[in-house]
Amino acid sequence: MIRPDLSDEVAGALAAGRPVVALESTIVSHGLPWPRNLELAQEVAGEVRAGGAVPATVAVIDGRLRAGLDAAALERLARGAGVAKLSRADLAVCMAEGRTGATTVAATMIAAARAGIDVFATGGIGGVHRGAETSFDVSADLRELAQSPVTVVASGAKAILDLPKTLEVLETLGVPVLAVGQDAFPAFWARDSGLPAPLRMDDPAAIARAHLARGALGLAGGQLVANPIPAEAEIPLAELAPLIARAEAEVAAEGVTGKAVTPALLDRLRALTEGRTLDANAALVRANARLGAAIAQEIAAARAGGAKAPAPPL
């Protein structure tokens, strides 16, 4: 089985049983404009380190799947020229062709599982797109959560999606959805989607125990930890909803389809909110990195059967 090429730091941490947090790379290549994308990647890695864990950004560089990128590789992704957006369907093709690509949630989970990394922190997962009953547009992220044994920390699913159907599919696939600090399922930039979360766990140690219990039971897949955006950075859903509807209409009128839809909607919403969604995105990803580091610490401590180093407050 192919496993990712690990940086020396990531390889050393995994060999020693120290906590590692995987990070995706599409937020670097496709999620934010240059140079804010590179700055945020560095900030998120810093949050993981401040939480006592080692960051492992995942990408395909010249055909090699890697976990843990040096500064040159990260900047190459951030500049974006010729960088593919990779999910489960195109990951192997990109590698076979010797190309460079940034990993989505699904592809990052695959790499993390192959590398032996338990925790992955991101912004928001993909899900069921609006109109999926006719388009069948459902993100591969959902099925990957049911297959790869990785705990994914995200601020729910992206607010542009059909959130009720996304939760229904996750339930059908047997994926635990754990809200943190509240009973409501968050909606990316908004703390409350208006939908109840199926489960709630507020303690990183309890989340770590649930992760380990799934493995002990032999259950396939991971779990989604739905961490709401910090209150000070929130854009409430009541404000977002009409803007999302406008962005959807404009993108549809332009004939955008497939993988291009999500980045086009995010770009349009960035303009409609005068950059507030960009700031909110940065805030929630940093918060998820902090929580991911805390969970990774607890998993490492449980496996070692000893005390962990104290983590800073979330």
pLDDT (tens place) for every residue of the chain, 314 residues total = 899 999 999 999 999 999 999 999 999 998 888 999 999 999 999 999 999 999 999 999 999 999 999 999 999 999 988 999 999 999 999 999 999 999 999 999 999 999 999 999 999 999 999 889 988 999 999 999 999 999 999 999 999 999 999 999 999 999 999 999 999 999 999 999 999 999 999 999 999 999 999 999 999 999 999 999 999 999 999 999 999 999 999 999 999 887 788 888 888 999 999 999 999 999 999 999 999 999 999 999 999 995 454 454 55
DSSP string covering the chain: ---PEEPHHHHHHHHHT--EEEE-SHIIIIIS-TTHHHHHHHHHHHHHHHTT-EEEEEEEETTEEEES--HHHHHHHHH-TTPEEE-HHHHHHHHHTT--EEE-HHHHHHHHHHHT--EEE-S-B--BPTTHHHH--B-HHHHHHTTS--EEEESBB-TTS-HHHHHHHHHHTT--EEESSSSBPPBTTBS--SSB-SEE---HHHHHHHHHHHHHHT--S-EEEE-PPPGGG---HHHHHHHHHHHHHHHHHTT--GGGHHHHHHHHHHHHTTTHHHHHHHHHHHHHHHHHHHHHHHHHHHHHTSPPPPPPP-
Q: Please tell me which residue in 24, 234, 248, 298 is annotated as part of the active site.
A: 24
Known catalytic residue: 232?
A: no
Which among 47, 144, 158, 308 is annotated as catalytic? Answer: 158
**What is the predicted pLDDT for the residue at 307?**
46
Model pTM greater than 0.75? Answer: yes
Q: What is the pLDDT of residue 14?
A: 98
158 a catalytic residue: yes
